[in-house]
């Protein structure tokens, strides 16, 4: 199995898990908001504050991971392009397709880095909230 197909499989499974976890978390929290009404208990206030803080933290982590991965990937792609200019390989018939494959791997890597923190937090919330009672 190639790196690209492993990444696609990983991104696909993370996306599927995320697509299942997010509605569960939203249903639990929206039900909790409806039950709480205008007067929030300490438990509800804590959960709603956590909801906002964890979204900010997950998105900041995702953006940082994506930017770092993009930076490293850009350096690797530039080095690869410079190397192909200085020492062209006569046996390489289509350098454009090799570069396109590198770009696709780079894009999948960046997407995977951005999806991981959001996936991790959403699935953890789904597991945690499935154990709690609403009231």
* Model pLDDT, residue 81: 77
| Largest Cα span, the chain | 74
**Domain limits of the chain?**
3-41+51-131
Across all residues in the chain, what is the average pLDDT? 87
Provide the strand spans (E) within 3-135. Answer: none
DSSP letter string over 2-31? -HHHHHHHHHHHHHHHHHHHHHHHHHHHHH
53 three-state secondary structure: helix
Chain-centre distance of CA 75, in angstroms? 22
Question: Which of 7-11, 29-33, 62-66 is predicted with the least confidence, judged by mean pLDDT?
Answer: 7-11
- Per-residue pLDDT band for 94 (boundaries 50, 70, 90) equals low
* Model pLDDT, residue 95: 64
- Measured CA to CA in angstroms, residue 11 lies from 17, 69, 121 at distances of 10, 16, 15
């Amino acid at each position: 199995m190639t790196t690209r197909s492993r990444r696609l499989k990983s991104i696909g499974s993370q996306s599927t898990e995320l697509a299942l976890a997010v509605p569960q978390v939203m249903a639990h929290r929206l039900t909790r908001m409806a039950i709480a009404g205008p007067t929030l208990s300490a438990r509800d206030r804590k959960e709603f504050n956590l909801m906002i803080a964890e979204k900010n933290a997950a998105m900041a982590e995702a953006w940082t991971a994506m930017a770092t991965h993009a930076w490293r990937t850009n350096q690797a792609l530039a080095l690869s392009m410079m190397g192909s200019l200085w020492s062209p390989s006569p046996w390489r018939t289509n350098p454009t397709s090799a570069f396109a494959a590198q770009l696709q791997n780079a894009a999948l890597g960046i997407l995977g880095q951005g999806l991981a923190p959001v996936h991790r937090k959403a699935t953890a919330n789904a597991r945690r909230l499935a154990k709690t009672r609403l009231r």
